[in-house]
Amino acid sequence: MKTNVILVPLFGIPGSGKGTIISTLKKLSATNADIQVVSVEMGSHFRKLAQDDECIRQIVDSGNLLSDSTANETFQKLIQEVAANVLFGQELKNKVVILIDGYPRAKNQGENFLAFIRSKNLEVAPVFLELDEEISIQRSRIRRICPQCGATFSIKEHTTCPKCQKKGRRRPDDHSMAHRIAVFNDETLPVIKEARQSFQHQISVESNDLRTAALEIWAFFQNL
Ligand SMILES: [Zn+2]
């Protein structure tokens, strides 16, 4: 049996719900015999590093991008770890989808990403999440992160962390949301335009309702 590996970069404005969509897709894949979903999550990786690294913390909290070389090296390291975990996993399903959140975010990273996938001859099928700036800002205001387990939740749905009942706090970079959106428009939108023209298989999804968005993306995976 040949396993088909597909890289799926998730593109979307900060606050478009990438983390929630990733966890929904993983839940769907857990009970599905055909599709395995794993992820490379750059943002949460750097937020973890930021706990012990003042330099990274300042950049992450400010909403600026880490340097291209840091982003490129980290991406390669994380994707190799994920690929190794999949290969050594007990069950290899027909299709393995590697979701990528937070990369590539700038022009140089986009070029590096293209060179990487060409050198490995990998299949890529990007997902573009569409969301109004205003809604993404509102969403970040009600988003909380658990200081204990790191889970993200909305205070609309939960007053405390649904896993460990700790009181959540705002993600530090959510305070710089307007700046993050400006950085996104300057640095990442050109990468998105390029990606829209580069890949045959792609999907654009409204991310107002994240459950519906995840189901649409899941259907897209089934047809890949
Ligand atoms: Zn928790």
157 CA distance to ligand 1 middle (Å): 14
Whether 3 shows a pLDDT value over 80: the answer reads: no
117 CA distance to ligand 1 middle (Å): 36
For range 140-146, the mean pLDDT: 93
219 CA distance to ligand 1 middle (Å): 30
Domains of the chain: 4-133+189-223 (3.40.50.300)
In 3-state terms, what secondary structure has residue 90?
coil
Q: Cβ atoms within 10 A of the Cβ of 219, count?
A: 10
**H or E element, residue 25:** helix 18-30
160 CA distance to ligand 1 middle (Å): 8
143 CA distance to ligand 1 middle (Å): 13
169 CA distance to ligand 1 middle (Å): 11
27 CA distance to ligand 1 middle (Å): 18
Question: Rounded distance, CA 184 to CA 191, Å?
Answer: 10
Q: Are strands 143-145 and 152-154 parallel, antiparallel or unpaired?
A: antiparallel
116: exposed, middle or buried (Cβ count in 10 Å: 0-12, 13-18, 19+): middle
pTM here is 0.92
Question: Rounded distance, CA 114 to CA 30, Å?
Answer: 30
Predicted confidence band of residue 1 (pLDDT cuts 50, 70, 90): low
User: pLDDT tens digits, residue range 22-54?
Assistant: 999 999 999 999 999 999 999 989 999 999 999
Distances (CA, A) of 28 to 22, 24, 80, 198: 10, 6, 24, 28
